[in-house]
Chain A
């Protein structure tokens, strides 16, 4: 409909206005949120923030950053094989829709819907208390592993589904077993999709706070052992903003966290987009 017609059709004009305003509002939320943090934060980035040791003078985020990397790597180490293998079973081995498969699906969906604070409680009860690991790097990593398991499972399964059956049939026809078909034929082309899922999971761990406060703890030092209590960058961010003592540093830390998460998620999105584009 042309613009001049809108005046004669008030309802249509109103509806069009509504959707445009809504889209503008959504975009505005994004721009203001990101813009505000960047504008207020970038001038506050100082060299003190990147000193090796944390103290209350420099409020360095480096230990927290190192801890974040450690927890992320450890949790991926646990969750990636589990998630990828589970997806392989679901897509390559299981016959369609038996009872076990639907139970696994329901379980994975339930996991995906559980809020992070419940993961935090669970991690505290199982890893910190029952297994006596205390507030520790390893308790945090295991909690994160449970949390990202459904993400890795789902994205891997989607990546495997996008591989055409002719690949498998060709491989079977040449006499390869199921195992070799999976590892030599199906997994390589699915790799970008699986990687996209893993990177998405990294973004989730980096941004996580509630599940880590009572599992990994809040000590702002690099760990001496797997059982040391550590704070990740997000928990660091929470401490800074709830204490309210280092508001400048909080702004700067927010920028670092924001840029980190946006970069991670963009990489994941680009990878996922590449396989989707390749298929179409």
Chain B
């Protein structure tokens, strides 16, 4: 081996290690996030008491009462609301784009949907605040900042995710399903809805789970329209505070146990997200298997 090839060999090996290290960076990031969140949040849960923290109905930092149950419910309610409003519209729109839409229209719709996905949540929130809140106020009375408003806004925000993932799933169904249905005398609509759509259900399920993840994690838009009252809501016209909102609203001035309790709120949120991610992977595995 002459000097030149040896140099090359060293260079090759060195860069291989650099690339490998870069690949491991994402593992390191996940590990760091877990360590820092859990190390700072879990002790607070211990101090407050696991059950008292998770199922406590009252969040009053002034009185040392730290129960995140209202926020857990708040997050679940607005997420459920977003799914109820966003998924039907999103899936039907995806069906339109995959199976009903003329080419020229698809060339208009498709970029619009991807731009919609890129609009920052703060702008959705601003739109919700200046347009939707006054409109809902007419119906609901009160401030207009409530679960219904947040659900509708989140439903709009998850539309692009639902549409693009569902459209991909619908397009992936073999054409023979459609042709078979037509050959049996089905109309175009029946063939699409009763032959193609069922075959795409695992992909659509994945879209729904992605939507759930986005809704649970959404912060800025929800803060501006949900009202943020830290009490258990009993109607969709009540305001609610989500886990995410709880952190942003109080982190600025919190200290000591209050601050740790907010980080613990983040831990609860993180666990919810990990669970949705797991079910997403599961939905995708189910599709492959």
Stretch at the interface among A166-174, A219-227, A257-265: A257-265
Q: Does A113 contact B (CB under 8 A)?
A: yes
A81-B22 contact given A25-B89, A125-B263, CB 8 Å threshold: yes
Query: Which of B92, B118, B121, B247 meets A23, CB within 8 Å?
Result: B92
Ordered by A's residue number, 18 sampled pairs between the chains whose C-beta atoms are within 8 Å are: A11-B190, A22-B89, A22-B96, A26-B89, A33-B124, A37-B123, A89-B19, A103-B27, A110-B274, A113-B273, A118-B217, A149-B26, A207-B118, A209-B120, A210-B248, A213-B252, A261-B119, A266-B115
Contacts of B281 in A (CB 8 A): 106, 109
Stretch at the interface among A13-21, A45-53, A185-193: A13-21
Q: CA–CA, A178 to B244, complex, Å? A: 46
Interchain CB contact under 8 A, B119 and A33: yes
Contacts of B178 in A (CB 8 A): none
142-158 of chain A: CB within 8 A of chain B: 146, 149-150, 153
Q: CA–CA, A85 to B25, complex, Å? A: 10
8 tightest A-B contacts by CB? A115-B217, A207-B120, A22-B92, A85-B22, A89-B19, A23-B96, A12-B189, A265-B118
Q: CA–CA, A149 to B29, complex, Å? A: 10
Contacts of B23 in A (CB 8 A): 85-86, 89-90, 94, 100, 104
A111-B26 contact given A12-B188, A26-B163, CB 8 Å threshold: yes
Interchain CB contact under 8 A, B26 and A9: no
Interchain CB contact under 8 A, A269 and B26: no
Q: Does B187 contact A (CB under 8 A)?
A: yes
Q: What string of 1s and 0s marks CB contacts (under 8 Å) between A68-83 and chain B?
A: 0000000000000111
Q: How far is the CB of A75 from chain B (nearest CB, A)?
A: 13
Contacts of A208 in B (CB 8 A): 120
Q: How far is the CB of A233 from chain B (nearest CB, A)?
A: 9
Q: CA–CA, A104 to B120, complex, Å? A: 28
Question: Which partner residue on chain A sits nearest B40 by CB separation?
Answer: A125
Question: Which partner residue on chain B sits nearest A92 by CB separation?
Answer: B19
Query: Which of B24, B96, B224 meets A20, CB within 8 Å?
Result: B96
Interchain CB contact under 8 A, A153 and B26: yes
Query: Which of B32, B91, B114, B187 meets A9, CB within 8 Å?
Result: B187
Q: CA–CA, A259 to B230, complex, Å? A: 35
Contacts of B67 in A (CB 8 A): none
Contacts of A27 in B (CB 8 A): 109, 112
Contacts of A110 in B (CB 8 A): 30, 274, 277
- How many A-B contacts at CB < 8 Å in the complex? 259
A250-B126 contact given A30-B115, A86-B19, CB 8 Å threshold: yes
147-204 of chain B: CB within 8 A of chain A: 156, 159, 163, 187-190, 192-193
Q: Does A136 contact B (CB under 8 A)?
A: no
Question: Which partner residue on chain A sits nearest B32 by CB separation?
Answer: A126
Query: Which of B40, B122, B217 meets A238, CB within 8 Å?
Result: B122
A1-B187 contact given A114-B217, A257-B123, CB 8 Å threshold: yes
Contacts of A83 in B (CB 8 A): 22
Q: Does B285 contact A (CB under 8 A)?
A: no
Q: Does B213 contact A (CB under 8 A)?
A: yes
Interchain CB contact under 8 A, A122 and B273: no
Q: How far is the CB of A66 from chain B (nearest CB, A)?
A: 18
Stretch at the interface among B9-17, B49-57, B231-239: B9-17
Q: What string of 1s and 0s marks CB contacts (under 8 Å) between B30-74 and chain A?
A: 101100110010000000000000000000000000000000000
Q: Does A163 contact B (CB under 8 A)?
A: no
Q: Does B113 contact A (CB under 8 A)?
A: yes
Q: Does B276 contact A (CB under 8 A)?
A: yes
A213-B248 contact given A86-B26, A207-B122, CB 8 Å threshold: yes
Query: Which of A11, A25, A114, A210 meets B270, CB within 8 Å?
Result: A114
Interchain CB contact under 8 A, A203 and B118: yes
A85-B19 contact given A29-B116, A241-B224, CB 8 Å threshold: yes
Q: How far is the CB of B114 from chain A (nearest CB, A)?
A: 6
Q: How far is the CB of B171 from chain A (nearest CB, A)?
A: 14
Query: Which of A90, A94, A130 meets B36, CB within 8 Å?
Result: A130
Contacts of A108 in B (CB 8 A): 26
Interchain CB contact under 8 A, A20 and B126: no
Question: Which partner residue on chain B sits nearest A14 by CB separation?
Answer: B189
Q: How far is the CB of B182 from chain A (nearest CB, A)?
A: 11
Q: CA–CA, A262 to B119, complex, Å? A: 7
Query: Which of B88, B114, B280 meets A22, CB within 8 Å?
Result: B88
Interchain CB contact under 8 A, A126 and B36: yes
Interchain CB contact under 8 A, B93 and A25: yes
Q: What string of 1s and 0s marks CB contacts (under 8 Å) between B94-126 and chain A?
A: 011101110000000101111110111111111
User: 17 additional contacts, CB 8 Å, given A20-B100, A23-B101, A177-B12?
Assistant: A15-B192, A36-B127, A85-B19, A86-B25, A89-B19, A89-B22, A93-B19, A107-B29, A116-B219, A117-B219, A118-B269, A121-B247, A209-B122, A209-B220, A237-B123, A238-B122, A258-B123
Interchain CB contact under 8 A, B96 and A37: no
Q: CA–CA, A62 to B182, complex, Å? A: 60
Q: How far is the CB of A164 from chain B (nearest CB, A)?
A: 21
**Residue with the highest number of chain A CB atoms closer than 10 Å, among B112, B118, B129, B216:** B118
